[in-house]
Chain A
């Protein structure tokens, strides 16, 4: 009975030793390699995606370049955020200064910053005859510059044909000046 117990203890000790050695070996030898492998695979997949994306961009290169060239005259704004907001606000001011509308408020909203362009937001409220408000809308929409009315609210005023209007206007400006692709390719 005693020797049986001793034998069981020996087996238990041996199993414990094997488990401990196995765990230590796994932690010291195998696990670092597995971690390194996981990291390398993640990096490799990232690069694969990047390459696929770049190849896709290269396929679109000619079309993008042509469209960009066509729009090049419209793309402006290589100044700071403040300069661009100021310019946007001045452009709007030029539009409604010719009309007999009363500006109730002009609110500059936070801009949206993308990797290669910025989107500027201005909310302006004005009151006046419906005809003048319509002229302002027409002036904005016929502008060659990349201005856009995102929201429009018209509320009838106290007098006939008199309305209060609220506009959310946006403008897209570039972040940096981009050279022609041919120049890049030559490099």
Chain B
């Protein structure tokens, strides 16, 4: 829960209607629960309308005394299975058509093959009238719980003795609620209203109820723990009486359970007199323990209303998802637009850089290309003459050249020769003769063969090649 001045936000909250038209709201804040008291339903409605109180999911309770309770043994292994089976047992339990009923199950005890449950049945009309009350104050609950189940849940939540046998007593001066819990399961419940009784009479009645119940709940020789909760005065009086006056309860068997702190919504000041501790206890217990999961076996909310809530949630989620998707799309589109605009701006900047030098750089480039072409054209001037000169100068008289081929490109010039000599040694001696030459000193005889001539003589024909790469 987050509060800033009077604004309250929470995921889960539960509402409990007091007899005097006021309302107690328990609000889940992370793992802790806080209670707010609204002096009237009108104030509560205004808080919702003005968004001072924002809650995603509401829980509420109905009185167990308005329900039809039927114990049932079912061949079920778990509560979920048992709840499904009860649907088929309903006609035998209540003489009302099943479609006019809403029910919930409280697990009592179980073994390997069967489970005892307490079926809590309400007429649709009763739940509908409770929903009308909720609607009149502006909420649509997601969970409707039995008040005693809520009280038991709250005792379990606050108590450290979850697996023992417990006698849970909630007294607020107006009524006394007694629950018996074995191994964390609600086994027995009773509620006594003390309208018209004096303080001593109420106390006496409560003591007798507690002692009577205590005698019946002790199992296997172990004493049941007594968990006391309620307004501070009542709790301390009951505790003292149990220990001292009656002397039948050891002090260690009595545990006082704190009541949730109640603050007035008007000024957020704590309420001191403990008047609404019952409503606070019920409202706090009605909030699901595993808040947020929404998977609770005990929910008296009719299937039609549940479907309506689910549809509403679905529509809300779909709308939000679509809006988010649209937003993401627009954001992506805007990002692309922005990126394109940035590139365009940079392109314009490049244009502004290019424009002043474009003509000049173009002219330089043209001249450079011409200069390079001319330089190539004028390079190695005199090479062909030099080659011919060296051939003339260094070719021995024994060698005659029949064919010469000179090819030039940008990197090198290649000279290929075909020639003749009288003997093979003269042909190979040609390379030695060119050792003094500047350009042709790397002439290489590639092929030489003796060719017979008419008349019995022979001549050596050869091919030679020289790469004029590093011309100086």
Residues of A that sit less than 8 Å from B by CB? 25, 29-30, 33-34, 36-37, 40-41, 43-44, 47-48, 50-51, 53-55, 57-58, 60-61, 64-65, 67-68, 71, 74-75, 114-117, 119, 134, 137-138, 140-142, 146-156, 170-172, 174, 176, 178-179, 181, 184-185, 187
Q: Given A37-B336, A58-B364, A178-B363: A151 and B406 within 8 A (CB)?
A: yes
Whether B393 is near chain A, meaning CB under 8 Å from some CB there, is no
**Pairwise interchain contact B371-A68, C-beta atoms closer than 8 A:** yes
Provide the main secondary structure of the chain B interface: helix
B residues adjacent to A (C-beta < 8 A): 329, 332-333, 336-337, 339-340, 343-344, 346-347, 350-351, 353-354, 357-361, 363-371, 373-375, 377-378, 381-385, 388, 400-409
Query: Is B340's CB under 8 angstroms from A48's CB?
Result: no
Q: Is the interface of A mostly helix, strand, loop or mixed?
A: helix
Choose from B350, B377, B401, B405 the contact partner of A47 (Cβ within 8 Å). Answer: B350
A25 touches B329 (CB 8 A): yes
Question: Of all chain B residues, which has the CB nearest A36?
Answer: B340
In Å, the complex CA distance between A56 and B407 comes to: 34
Choose among A40, A119, A141, A149 the residue that contacts B373 (Cβ–Cβ < 8 A): A119
CA distance A32 to B81 in the complex (A): 57
Are B354 and A54 within 8 A (Cβ)?
yes
Who on chain A is nearest to B388 by CB? A134
Q: Are B360 and A146 in contact (CB under 8 A)?
A: no
Which among B377, B402, B408 is the interface contact of A146 at CB below 8 angstroms?
A: B377
Contact at B363–A181, with CB atoms within 8 Å?
yes
Nearest neighbor of B334 in chain A, beta-carbon distance:
A33
Shortest Cβ distance from residue A41 to the other chain B in the assembled complex, whole angstroms? 6
Query: By the criterion CB–CB under 8 Å, are B368 and A153 in contact?
Result: no
Closest 9 CB pairs of A and B: A54-B361, A33-B336, A146-B377, A154-B404, A47-B350, A116-B366, A152-B406, A57-B364, A57-B361
Q: Which residues of B contact A151 (CB under 8 A)?
A: 405-408
Could you give 23 example pairs across A and B, Cβ below 8 Å? A33-B337, A33-B340, A37-B339, A54-B354, A61-B364, A65-B364, A114-B373, A117-B370, A141-B384, A142-B382, A146-B374, A150-B407, A151-B406, A154-B403, A154-B404, A156-B401, A156-B403, A172-B374, A172-B377, A174-B370, A178-B370, A184-B359, A185-B360
